[in-house]
Amino acid sequence: MTAYPYLKIDHVDKSFTRGSTETEVLKDITLSIEKSEYVSIIGHSGCGKSTLLNLVAGLLPVSAGCVLLENKEVNDPGPDRAVVFQNHSLLPWLTVYNNVRLAVDKVFSGTKSRQERHDWTMHNLELVQMGHAKDKRPAEISGGMKQRVGLARALSMEPKVLLLDEPFGALDALTRAHLQDSVMAIHGKLGNTVLMITHDVDEAVLLSDRIVMMTNGPAARIGEVLDVPLLRPRKRLALAADPTYLKCRQRVLEFLYERHHFVEAA
Amino acid sequence: MNMPLRKTETAMVLPASAAKVFPLPAAKRGTFASRTMARVRDVAAKLIPPIVMIGLLLIVWQILCSKPGATLPSPSKIWTEAYDLIVDPFFVAGPQDIGLGWRVLTSLQRVAIGYGLAGVIGILLGTLVGQSVWAMRGLDPIFQILRTISPLAWLPISLAAFRDSQPSAIFVIFITAVWPIIINTAVGIRNIPSDYRNVAAVLRLNHLEFFVKIMVPSAAPYIFTGLRIGIGLSWLAIVAAEMLTGGVGIGFFIWDAWNSSRLSDIVVALVYIGGVGFILDRIVAGVATIVTRGTAAN
Ligand SMILES: Nc1ncnc2c1ncn2[C@@H]1O[C@H](COP(=O)(O)OP(=O)(O)O)[C@@H](O)[C@H]1O
Ligand SMILES: [Mg+2]
How close does chain B come to A14, measured CA to CA in Å?
A: 19
- The full length of chain A comes to 266
> Residue A145 in contact with residue A132, Cβ under 8 Å?
no
- Averaged pLDDT, B93-119: 90
> Does the Cβ of A114 fall within 6 Å of ligand 1?
no
Higher-pLDDT residue of A99, B245: A99
Q: What is the mean pLDDT of residues B231-260?
A: 90
CB-based contacts of B188, cutoff 8 Å, min separation 6: B126, B130, B218, B219, B220, B221, B222, B223
The pLDDT of A219-241, averaged and rounded, is 92
Answer for the pair B276, B187: CB distance below 8 angstroms, yes or no: no
The atom number, within ligand 1, closest to the CA of A218 reads 25
**Which segment of A123-137, A176-190, B90-104, B230-244 scores lowest on mean pLDDT?**
B90-104
Top mean-pLDDT range of A50-59, B16-25, B250-259: A50-59
Ligand 1 lined by A50 (C-beta under 6 Å): yes
Residue A207 has pLDDT above 90, yes or no: yes
Domain residue limits, chain B? 102-292
- pLDDT of B106 higher than 70: yes
Q: In this predicted structure, what is the pLDDT of residue B132? A: 87
The band of A208, judged by pLDDT with boundaries at 50, 70 and 90, is: very high
Question: What is the structure's pLDDT at B25?
Answer: 53
User: What was the pLDDT predicted at B152?
Assistant: 86
d(CA A128, CA A120): 13
Report residue A83's pLDDT band, with 50, 70 and 90 as the boundaries.
Answer: very high
Q: Indicate whether residue A22 lines ligand 1 (CB < 6 A).
A: no
pLDDT at B85: 85
User: Which residues fall within 8 angstroms of residue B160, CB to CB, at 6 or more apart?
Assistant: none
The residues, any chain, with a CB within 8 Å of residue B50's CB and separated by 6 or more, are none
CB-based contact B12:B193 (threshold 8 Å): no
The ipTM of this complex is 0.91
Q: How confident is the model at residue A155 (pLDDT cuts 50, 70, 90)?
A: very high
| Distance of CA B259 from the midpoint of ligand 2 (Å) | 71
A171 C-beta closer than 6 A to ligand 1: no
| Ligand closest to CA A170 | 2
Q: Output the CATH code of domain B102-292.
A: 1.10.3720.10
Distance from CA of B290 to the nearest CA of A (A): 11
Does B296 score more than 90 pLDDT? no
Return d(Cα A109, Cα A128) in angstroms, integer: 23
Asked if pLDDT for residue B96 goes beyond 80, the answer is: no
Do the chains contact at A91 and B201, CB–CB below 8 Å?
A: no
Would you list which residues of chain B are within 8 Å, Cβ to Cβ, of chain A? 193, 195-196, 198-199, 201-205, 209, 213-214, 217-218, 220, 292-295, 297-298
Q: Which residue's C-alpha comes closest to atom 5 of ligand 1? A: A16
Question: According to the model, what pLDDT value does residue B22 have?
Answer: 52
Helix (H, G, I), strand (E, B) or coil at A137: coil
* Mean pLDDT, residues B285-294 taken together: 84
pLDDT at B5: 43
Given a cut of 60, is residue B170 above it in pLDDT?
A: yes
Give residue B110's pLDDT band: very low, low, confident or very high (50, 70, 90): very high
Q: What distance in angstroms lies between residue A48's CA and the mean position of ligand 1's atoms?
A: 6
Residue nearest to atom 14 of ligand 1 (CA): A48
> What confidence category does residue B29 fall into, taking pLDDT thresholds of 50, 70 and 90?
low
How high is the mean pLDDT of chain B?
85
pTM for this prediction: 0.79
